[in-house]
Chains A and B, each alone.
Chain A
Amino acid sequence: MSNLITALHIGASGIYTNQTGVQVTGNNITNANTTGYSKQTANVTSSSSLTQGGLIYGTGSTVNTIDRSGDIFITKQLVAQSAVYGEYEASSSPLADIEAILSISENSLSSDIDNFFDALETLSTNPAGTTERQSVIQEAEDLASHFQEIEQQLGDVIKGINSSIESEIPELNDQLQQIADFNKAIMITETASGNANTLRDQRDLLVQHVSETCGCSMYSDENGMTCLQLEGGLPLVTGPAASILSVNQIDGLSQITLSSGQSSFTLEGASFGGSLAGLLSVRDEIIPQYQNNLDQLAYVIATEVNTLHATGITLNGNAATDLFTLTASSSPTANAWDNAAASITVNFDDTSLLATSTTGETGDNSLTLAIADLRDTAIINGSTLTEEYARIAADVGLQVSSNKDKLTSNTELLNTISDKRDSECGVSSEEEMLLLIQYQSGYEAAANYLSVIKEMIDQIMTI
């Protein structure tokens, strides 16, 4: 009798085990499309055995744990690749803006340079002509205002990057805090009972997001808590504590500071990976380089033209002034050309102040010819002015196309790793259906077994 009762318990364990299996499978099926979800498996073991009358009996089955599939190597790959992807993804938009500003269209800066010199050529055919003089001054003004416009637009791109950075930081802080909270929650849950599978899934997903934003590496501490640090080693999350990032504007640029405990660090672009690295490198390296190029271009045009023009005599017989004015940067360490593109203007709009000669005679066009010759002279970095602009525009084009290529290949790589993760940890509906059939038939068998035992007990009871 006592053995039949044990057998009843064995049958019941089969029912429970298969029920749990169905439950786990159901959870998997319903989460098949949940981002970051890892497939769970009921880990069925046989229950501890009983010794009776010198025999060792099994006592059925039990679901020991519900395991979560996972591969720490793939997770780390995903975290690292997200950072690379984030970097190129974030820089693609400001780079496209720069490309549009330094365009190669028919209205680009180079056409303004061409038009200015063309107006001088026209003036040389009629040096005293008011219309021709007016047109030179007009083209010079167009050229100067195009420089200023470009400078202004590049400044707008910088502002846009600043506000992107400012909007990333609160979300990043939130994510870091959540990871730290999950660390605590996972430890509490797992100390009390079983595996905190869902919490771990959510934490891994957050780590991937954080890495896409700022690039980080992860490791587990002795308590199994996930710790994150920036590439340079500065801590983002240490066990249950999250660092706090803050932004403030210094000289018109958003500066990021990391506070961890009592210490705080000012972070440069190189400290980060991910989208922050992409944004900061465009803002702090790429744009300043083009600004410098344009400043040089504006400076060379203005000073070369001025040097010649100032040797002239106007129609009124007075010594000529500069055609262009520049305001030099106030910084003592600045280059001579700094601030040129932002400040270039035309000095006068009175056509009689334009000098075409060094004699002041009405038919003398020699100075105009000399100024027009600047167009074909290699006066900037061994090139002519339009060649220099072409070099700058081609350089922007290269940056954009190389970023685009890198973004494509890294998106594909990220997809490949995600596929690998899904292959390892994702839910396959077909597989789950098979498991469902398996558990269903297991349940059926256990139920049949129970009814047999019941009959046997009944028979005994009727004796």
Chain B
Amino acid sequence: MIRTNDLSAYRTLQYNMSKTSSSLNQLYVKTSTGQQVDKASDAPSLVRTIITGRSDIIVGERYIENCKHVQNSLSTAETAIDSMIDLLDRAKEIAVAAANDSLSQSDRDSYTDEVIQLEENLLDLANMQADGKYIFAGYNDQVEPFSGSPVVYNGTGDHQEIEISSGIRVAKNITGSELFVSPVDIFTTLTELKSALQGGNTTTISSQLTSIEDAAEQVRRQQNFLGNTSARMDDIIAVHESSLLLVNEKLSQAEDADLTEVLSEVSKLELSLEATMQVTSRVSSLSLFDYL
């Protein structure tokens, strides 16, 4: 027969009571913080999910920022390009109009003046600045990229790349050389148009149309590139946004307390604590002493 006595009864009750109340306390903390996993020991297997999840959120949000940064940067270039297309259209109109034999040289001279104006506009566009930096200068973005007569390119042929997704980079700039110089040097095109107008030979003037058209083509290619890149950024932003949603959800599953579950656990433990307390008060109420 196992003899039981008050000492072991009290020991058991005390142990269970402190165990229940400490579990209960942990649940209270979970309810108030809303967090299931507060310390690594709460769920060691979820630690990696939580830490890499938080990291993924920072990275994902940065990639979205970077995509928007690329779009902003390219849209500044796009305004310049739009103006260039207008400018080249006007040059083409001038070449077509001036190739007319019935035009007098003084008419052609006023066209020449306009072309000189266009050259200046083109130079302004080529040296366009945003946020204190020359946008068509490659890496050398704090030095005026186009200067001199004839105009030469002083920038570099580099693309400033931005990471928009793990291991994927896109150029946020168009270099002055690919837009203005190579393969068609638009400054030369205008200069040649200007000298053709000054020379007054209609055949020479109309022969300029081809190189103006080539120049316009070169600019449109870059415009297409900008449009495509910008659209691609929208796609990539959408991809990042949906993966951020997933990561957030996963993180919340790992980290956040399921309040319904916690609360039902709380009421279960409270009941058990109450029962333990009631039993404790009765331990010594039944005694042989009462009958002596």
Contact = CB atoms under 8 A, between A and B. Distances in A.
Contacts of A111: 54, 58
Interface stretch (A181-189, A254-262, A355-363): A355-363
B102 interface: no
B2 A423 contact: yes
Given A363-B141, A366-B161, A426 B48 contact: no
B40 A118 contact: no
B263 to A, nearest CB: 24
A100 B66 CA distance: 35
B127 to A, nearest CB: 15
B52 A386 contact: yes
Contacts of B54: 106, 110-111, 114
A418 interface: yes
B148 interface: no
A422 B5 CA distance: 7
B52 A362 contact: no
A430 B39 CA distance: 48
A190 B40 CA distance: 56
A359 B139 contact: yes
B41 A124 contact: no
Interface in B146-165: 156, 158, 160-163
B181 to A, nearest CB: 18
A393 B133 contact: no
B137 interface: yes
A415 B15 contact: yes
Greatest chain A CB density within 10 A among B8, B137, B156, B161 is at B8
A431 interface: yes
Interface size range of chain B in the complex: 35 or more
Interface stretch (B220-228, B236-244, B284-292): B284-292
A8 interface: no
Contact of B289 (A115, A408, A433): A433
Interface stretch (A225-233, A289-297, A394-402): A394-402
Interface in A67-118: 99-100, 102-104, 106, 108, 110-111, 113-115, 118
A340 interface: no
Contact of A397 (B12, B41, B156): B41
Contact of A362 (B142, B169, B287): B142
Interface string A109-146: 01101110010011011111000000000000000000
Interface in B24-67: 37, 39-45, 47-48, 50-52, 54-55, 58-59, 62, 66
Contact of B7 (A99, A122, A426): A426
Contacts, number: 174
B11 interface: yes
B166 interface: yes
A387 B52 contact: yes
A33 interface: yes
A201 interface: no
Contacts of B12: 415, 419
B287 A429 contact: yes
Interface residues of A, number: 68
Interface string A404-423: 10001001100100110011
Contacts of A33: 6-7
Given A372-B163, A400-B40, A390 B66 contact: no
A161 to B, nearest CB: 19
B51 A363 contact: no
A423 B139 contact: no
B43 to A, nearest CB: 8
A397 B44 contact: yes
A434 B288 contact: yes
B44 to A, nearest CB: 4
A104 B255 CA distance: 11
A115 B58 contact: yes
A363 B139 contact: yes
Contact of A390 (B3, B51, B69): B51
Nearest to A127: B160
Nearest to B166: A376
Given A426-B5, A429-B6, A418 B11 contact: yes
A430 B167 contact: no
12 contacts: A104-B39, A111-B58, A118-B59, A122-B62, A127-B160, A364-B139, A369-B163, A394-B40, A398-B40, A415-B15, A418-B8, A424-B3
